[in-house]
A and B are shown apart, each in its own frame.
Chain A
Amino acid sequence: MLALAGAMPKAAQAASPRVITTFSILADLARNAGGPDIDVAALVGPNGDVHVYEPSPADSRALAAARLIILNGLGLEGWMARLISTAAAHAPVVVAARGVTPRTTETGGVDPHAWQSVGNAKIYVANIRDGLIAMDPAARESYETASRAYLATLDRLDADIRSAIAKIPPDRRLVVTTHDAFGYFGAAYGLSFVAPQGISTDAEPNPRDIARIIRQIRALEVPAIFLENAIDPRMADRIAAESGTRIGGKLFTDALSPPGGPAATYLDLMRHNLRELTAALAP
């Protein structure tokens, strides 16, 4: 319930929200696509991990009362189908990523992090807008106005990302990171994201794996590494010092930060990541 309350706009706290999304980024997109009058809540709030979420009984109640359910699709919310059926939710379901060209991950699965490309986020917004109109045809005009303005903002964001990346010399457009969420971003904007070989949070770091990462970074001449949350920061410093690379800051992937944080909205999230990346990759 706390997670719900945290993601709820003030106006929504009296009535139960009409639009339930699975995670914070979708909630922000829905809020922008629908304009100020719709009540949106996210099951997985800011900083939560949508991949491994454990639904609570309160989530079932919220879903049962919802008038529209928005989820990402592409296999992100594996827990959602069962939750919808056990909650006996009857609201129509919008799959926000419908129409996105899916990418496969290195391990062969579908990469669900499609919103990391602004072009895909525009598809999300269009899908959400259509779902909102189907839910409440009387408010069609207000949804269309809000969506149109937001889509224009997304276009500007997209152009800004492209021009910022264009300023990075092509041979420096390479990042080593433990985040596996940047496939769509990299494909859309021409950055390469390489996973470090052998780093895992499951096991104690051992010298062979660290040596392998250092050799990998040296061989590829990677300008920056983003290993945040995966290893001891002093270990990251050591790897950077020995491979002649730079350590980047925190990148946001599949959750917004709480309000007031550096990535409280989707726009903030994308601009924050862009700043971190360009700062780390600048010559």
Chain B
Amino acid sequence: MYALFVTPFIEFEFMRRALVGTIALALAGAPVGVFLVLRRMSLTGDAMAHAILPGAALGYLASGLTLGPMTLGGIGAGLVVAIGSGLVSRATILREDASLAAFYLISLALGVTLVSLRGSNIDLMHVLFGSVLALDDATLILLASFASLTLLVIALFYRLLVMETVDPDFLASLTRLGSVTQLVFLAVVVLNLVAGFHALGTLLAVGMITLPAAAARLWAKELSGMIGIAALQGIVASYAGLLLSYHGGLPSGPLIILTAAFFYLLAVIFGPAGGLLRRLRPRRHLEA
């Protein structure tokens, strides 16, 4: 048992690093994901994750597979798309989903083209799927600081975020901080996507944010419970995914996301707060 479940992490530092990095992602991703799900912005998150690619690719073009430029490029591009798609949907008759889909496709095509301008296939794979097994000191510190910053900002804006999510009109009648809150939240989303990008790549980064949160929504009815369950699922998915990929000889990033997806399916079927079984067999009414 010990050899199966613990030894890989004792024997190999790259496994410990991968675990620490993904746990940081899971902890910060949980509240971000829960708010995304509650605000019906899961697809926005997905589109923004893709938007990071061309920005990171520009950083890559400028200076190769380096942490700083790719991070800055990713954050820049993520913010541009977050604000840009909102502007397009406000300025034209296109709904937000259409403009998001457009931005998402443009970003992916542009990003792959930019990386291919300079790079080899290895680099492209790294950008698309991340390199959770090759987290160096600098990347780990970046993941940890982004996670800490995220938790701090969410804690500061918690009440505003809740009000803005539940009843934006009411918040608007009280204060003008509503749009500020929305922008801050989008910035936090971008921050987490960029962090996820370094470990899991542009295609899977959003998985660590959305999947545990969507599952948690089906287990818990109130917010703090949801966030706690999402974080727990993210952490367990990180550990179990790494372990499965170690023993199975399979790529780690996809296995972590697949484990999170497994928890999501469990929640869809068994979740007490709106899962399938719960809906098929409603509790009997009280009889007089």
Contacts and interface: CB of A to CB of B under 8 A. Distances in A.
Interface string B117-145: 00011110110010101111001000000
Given A232-B65, A232-B131, A241-B13, A206 B122 contact: no
A214 B13 CA distance: 11
B136 A237 contact: yes
A36 interface: no
A242 B13 contact: yes
Contact of B249 (A206, A229, A231): A206
Interface of chain B: mostly helix, strand, loop or mixed: helix
A235 B125 CA distance: 13
A47 interface: no
A92 to B, nearest CB: 39
Interface bin, chain A: 20 to 34
B12 A214 contact: yes
Given A207-B14, A242-B12, A235 B131 contact: yes
A197 to B, nearest CB: 12
B222 to A, nearest CB: 38
Interface of chain A: mostly helix, strand, loop or mixed: helix
A235 B133 contact: yes
Contact of B122 (A209, A231, A241): A231
Given A232-B126, A232-B134, A234-B134, A242 B249 contact: no
Interface string B1-34: 0000000100111110110000000000000000
Contacts of B123: 232
A229 B14 contact: no
B246 interface: yes
A97 B133 CA distance: 43
B254 to A, nearest CB: 8
Nearest to A204: B251
A238 B11 CA distance: 14
B71 interface: no
Nearest to A202: B121
B13 A207 contact: no
B247 interface: yes
A241 B135 CA distance: 12
A233 interface: yes
Which residue, of B8, B134, B251, B254, has the highest number of chain A Cβ atoms within 10 A?
Answer: B134
Contacts of A195: none
B89 interface: no
Interface in B147-185: none
A207 B242 contact: yes
Contacts of A167: none
A207 B245 contact: yes
B250 interface: yes
Nearest to A214: B12
Given A234-B65, A234-B136, A242 B246 contact: no
Interface of A: 201, 203-211, 214, 229-235, 237-238, 241-242
